[in-house]
Amino acid sequence: MAFATASPVAGRAPVLVFLGAAFAFLATMLGTTLPTPLYPLYQAQFGFSQLTITVIFAAYAVGVMGALIVTGRWSDQVGRRPLLFAGLIAAAASDALFLASDSLAMLLVARVVSGISAGIFTGTATVAVIELAPPAWRRAATFVATAANMGGLGMGPVIAGLLGQYAAWPLQLAYAVHLGLLVLAVAAVACAPETVSRPARPRLRLQRLSVPAEVRGAFLPAALAGFAGFALLGFFTATAPAFMQQVLGQSNLALIGLVAGMVFFASTLGQLVQGRFPSAWRLPLGCAIVIGGATMIGVGIALATLWLFLGGALIAGLGQGIGFRAGLGAIAAASPADQRGSVTSTFFVVAYVALSIPVVGIGLVSRSIGLAATGVGFAGFVALLSGVALVLLRRTGGGRGER
């Protein structure tokens, strides 16, 4: 497989190639959230506790963080396409493991491998989609990459919930369908030109994590807001099925998948509209909206009221999207050019820690005080973190980012 020698900006790919790369991104991320509405079926089949389900979910974040740290800089050295193919292979391997899973160990391995596919794609595919954008799409390229990422994460539980509820083989069909999508994704990546000039001697290094002193004023509130937002995403992708069934009395897998997907769709909308607000308002606004959404989620759980729970999910997802993109922009703007990659990677590691550790805490705490009380406490924890971020932003003025 030959690599082009043109620079990343010399000659953009046609629209279909650009959209094909975005589709590959969406298809890969879609696979990472397929298990969400199926967790009740795994619990019924294998007799797992809620704590076990949260540990299975957390294994995904371990794979993501490992791939981000190990391969975060590799695509600059060996090219975008080899990394994208590696991510697609990992995604297909994860599907195969889920299809064959007959034990907790296999499910854990499947989730780790799924996380590896997401970790590879999160950085590499985002850059590849932007680099492949034709001139008419350049201004929208970053959002297309973001929408492919979050849209895929949202579509996963929706598709799996529908197939799990209304089709045969509920624990197999979604992964088989995803394998078919990956075949199309492989074809899309194969049609895309390479956008990186590979050095004669590629140097494969780990992604260094660091936060320079001059960036900490912007990093801390953005990281706190990011932690709160990603903890909510983890809540809906790992434990929403349990809350829907055991607290809200809703057992329809399609509805459970839709609720889990709604948070990601709302996040995509938030990332789209955040540019309509002045730069200094974006991160504080995102934090404030997350506080409102988390409060509604907590009240919905306490009162066992579905519409409050759903409304809170939409509002919190919107705030997460606004705050996430604004925080990332603020960090990038404050970082020295030669350290921007390592600072951004550090931010993503914080985000994926937030995706996993709090939901394991839910599994642990719910064994002592019950699921409903734990959910209310978790919602309060998220609102508190966002409130602390707001206070820090007011003191440091660290909310300014991309304009």
Return the percentage of the chain with pLDDT > 90, whole number: 53
Residue 7 has phi, psi (to 5 degrees) of -75, 165
Distance CA 60, CA 46 (A): 19
Q: How far is CA 62 from CA 151, 206, 210, 321, 340, in A?
A: 22, 16, 19, 23, 23
* Per-residue pLDDT at 397: 61
Fold of 10-197: Growth Hormone; Chain: A; (1.20.1250)
Q: What is the DSSP string of 253-312?
A: HHHHHHHHHHHHHHHHHHHHHGGGS-HHHHHHHHHHHHHHHHHHHHHHHHHT-HHHHHHH
Six-digit token string for 92? 């297909």
* Per-residue pLDDT at 280: 82
Q: Which residue has the tokens 């209304």?
A: 166
The pLDDT tens digits for 231-244 are 999 999 989 899 99
The pLDDT tens digits for 130-142 are 888 888 888 888 7
Q: What is the pTM of this model?
A: 0.87
Q: At what angle do helices 216-234 and 306-334 cross, to 10 degrees?
A: 150
Six-digit token string for 67? 């791939």
Q: Is 403 exposed, middle or buried (0-12, 13-18, 19+ CB in 10 A)?
A: exposed
Sign of the dihedral through C-alpha 87, 90, 96, 101: negative
Distance CA 199, CA 18 (A): 24
The pLDDT tens digits for 93-111 are 999 999 999 899 999 999 9
Distance CA 398, CA 403 (A): 14
pLDDT class of 125 with cuts at 50, 70, 90 = confident
The pLDDT tens digits for 26-68 are 999 999 999 999 999 999 899 988 899 999 988 998 999 888 8
pLDDT class of 276 with cuts at 50, 70, 90 = confident
- Residues near 370 by Cβ (< 8 Å), separated by ≥ 6? none
Element (H, E) at 247: none
CATH architecture of 208-403: Up-down Bundle (1.20)
Same fold, 10-197 and 208-403: yes
The pLDDT tens digits for 212-259 are 888 888 888 888 998 999 999 999 998 989 999 999 999 999 999 999
| Pairs from 11-15 (Cβ < 8 Å, separation ≥ 24) | 11/193, 12/132, 12/133, 12/134, 12/135, 13/132, 13/134, 13/192, 13/193, 14/134, 15/134, 15/136, 15/137
Cβ pair 243, 366 in contact under 8 A: no
Distance CA 161, CA 177 (A): 13
Domain range annotation of the chain: 10-197, 208-403
